[in-house]
Structure 1
Amino acid sequence: MNILVIGAGGVGIGLATSVASQGANVSIYARGKTAKAIKENGIKRCGLFTHYEIGEIPVYESYEEIPKSHFDYIFICSKTTANEDIAENLNRNRDILKESTKIIIFQNGFGNDEHYLKYFTKKQVFSARVITGFTRPERHISEVTVYTEPILLGSLQGENPDSLQEIADLITASGIKCEITTEVDKYLWAKMLYNCTLNPLGAILDVTYGQLTENPYTLDIMNSIIDEIFEVIKTSPYETLWDSPDEYRDIFYSKLVPDTYNHYSSTHQDIKKKIPTEIDSLNGKVIQLGKLNNVNVKTNEFIYNLIKAIESTF
């Protein structure tokens, strides 16, 4: 099995190491210092679960270098801000894919498959729900820092995900449980509820997820974000795992936030690095669907605008 991983951050390095440790032939698309570090050191997964090191791994710094008709799977593990560029490049260089190649999107947010569906069929494009925490302490190393539930693979377009079982089996065999599902939309919206409520607000205030729950003012903001997202889901062709905002809040405050109390969000990390955030795929997607379905999402809009204001200073 030949797999190309695009995006050599914590998730990309972590998944690349996972499937390579179980015998898959893995290549990585990376550039600059990251490509150099992987070429010199290979890749490594540490932290929770089994530790693995892969000594040598092909690294490509341009699409022109990538072998033709070679890959069975493309893992998209980049920031969502790169999706338009990646989708266009894969289309321009589609001779690196086989007719049966499948693209699996391992990213935050919702609707990221839309960029790839401009060029590829519904039978080729799949999505993953990842709530395992990966960080990158060094450019070639991924550390698994948090695990709460399995990685889930499926289709937002109603396609049968059974063909992804071999990928799920490889990841599971590496120590991180992974499953296929016909309801990936429900789980992605569950992740959206969590990320949209915590991610930008924690970044704006420079605090951990747990600290947000200890302030009555931030509690009001988070509760409003949750209410608005449920209204958006209700008027959209999507579902999630809870019937009401109150039902979700029960598990959010009793389980989900306490399990990640000391966590700083990816948006927080991006702002510290002064790079564009993934806010358009998070609260931005809520705003888009809210406008489409005439739902008031003023709190999501306010949070979104604050992040965009911070980004404008970079």
Structure 2
Amino acid sequence: MNILIIGAGGVGIGLGASVKSQGANVSIYARGETAKAIKENGIKRCGLFTHYEFGEIPVYESYGEIPKNEFDYIFISSKTTANEDIAQNLNEQRDILKDDGKIIIFQNGFGNDEAYLKYFPKSKVFSARVITGFTRPERYISEVTVYTEPILIGSLQGEDPKEMQEIADMITESGIKCELTDEVDKYLWAKMLYNCALNPLGAILNVNYGKLTENEYTKELMNSIIDEIFEVIKASGYSTLWSTSDEYKELFYNKLVPDTYEHYSSTHQDIQRKIKTEIDSLNGKVIELGERNNVDVSTNKIIYNLIKSIESYF
């Protein structure tokens, strides 16, 4: 099996090492210092679970270099801000994928498949919910820092995910449990609820997740964000794992945030590094669906606009 990883961050390198450990031929699209580091050192997965280290990983720095009719799967693990560019390049070099090849999107946010569905049929594009924590202490190293639930792979377009079973099995055998689901939308919305409430607000205020729950003003903002998202989910015809926003909030404040009290969000890390965030795939997606379905998303808009204002100074 031949797999191309696009997005050589913690998730991409971690998943690459996972499937490589089970016999897959793994190649990576990367540029600059990351490409150089992987060419010199290979890739490594450490932290929780089994540690793996592999040298001599093929690295491509342009789409034109990538072999044709080579890959059974492409894993998209880049930041969501790159999706339009990646999708367009894959369309222009669409014979990178074998005729029966598949694209699996391992990213934050909701609706990331839309960029790829402009060019590829829905039978080729699948989405994954990842809440395993990956960090990248070195450009070629992925450290698994947190594990709470399995990676889930499915289709937002109603396609049967059974063809993804071999990938799920390989990731599971590598030590990180991975399963298929016919309800990936529910699980992606569960992650959206968590990320949209915490990520931008923690970045704006420069605090960890736990601190946000200890302030009556930030709790009011988070409650409003969550309430608006539930209305958007309902109006958009999607569903999630909880019947009401109050049911979710009970879990959010009593379990989810305490378990990740000290965590700083990826949005916070992006702001500190002065790079564009994934806010358009998070609260921005809530706003898009809310406006499309006449749902009041004013709190999400305020948070979104504040992040965009910060980004404008980069």
Q: Output the TM-score relative to the length of structure 2.
A: 0.99
CA distance in 2, matches of 1:144, 1:213: 26
Q: Does 1:11 align with 2:11?
A: yes
Give the ranges of 4+ consecutive aligned residues of structure 1 lying more than 2 Å apart after TM superposition: none
1:269-280 mapped onto 2 (5 Å cutoff): 269-280=269-280
CA distance in 2, matches of 1:237, 1:157: 13
Name the counterpart of 2:153: 153
Gaps of 5+ in 2: none
Aligned-partner residue type, residue 306 of structure 1: L
- Superposed CA deviations along residues 6-35 of structure 1, whole A, max 9, x for unmatched, are 000011011001110111100000000000
Deviation at 1:56, TM superposition (A): 1.6
1:193-204 mapped onto 2 (5 Å cutoff): 193-204=193-204
Q: Does 1:281 align with 2:281?
A: yes
Question: RMSD value over aligned CA atoms?
Answer: 0.5
CA distance in 1, matches of 2:97, 2:55: 26
Aligned-partner residue type, residue 141 of structure 2: I
- Superposed CA deviations along residues 52-106 of structure 1, whole A, max 9, x for unmatched, are 1011210000111111100000000000000000000000001111110100000
Name the counterpart of 1:129: 129
Deviation at 1:49, TM superposition (A): 0.8
Name the counterpart of 2:169: 169
- Superposed CA deviations along residues 121-172 of structure 1, whole A, max 9, x for unmatched, are 0100000000011110000000111111000000000000000000000000
Gaps of 5+ in 1: none
Name the counterpart of 1:185: 185
Name the counterpart of 1:251: 251
CA distance in 1, matches of 2:53, 2:212: 37
CA distance in 1, matches of 2:206, 2:139: 25
Name the counterpart of 2:50: 50
1:1-314 mapped onto 2 (5 Å cutoff): 1-314=1-314
CA distance in 1, matches of 2:134, 2:281: 19
CA distance in 1, matches of 2:312, 2:98: 41
User: What SS is found at the alignment partner of 1:69?
Assistant: coil
Q: Output the TM-score relative to the length of structure 1.
A: 0.99
Identity %: 81
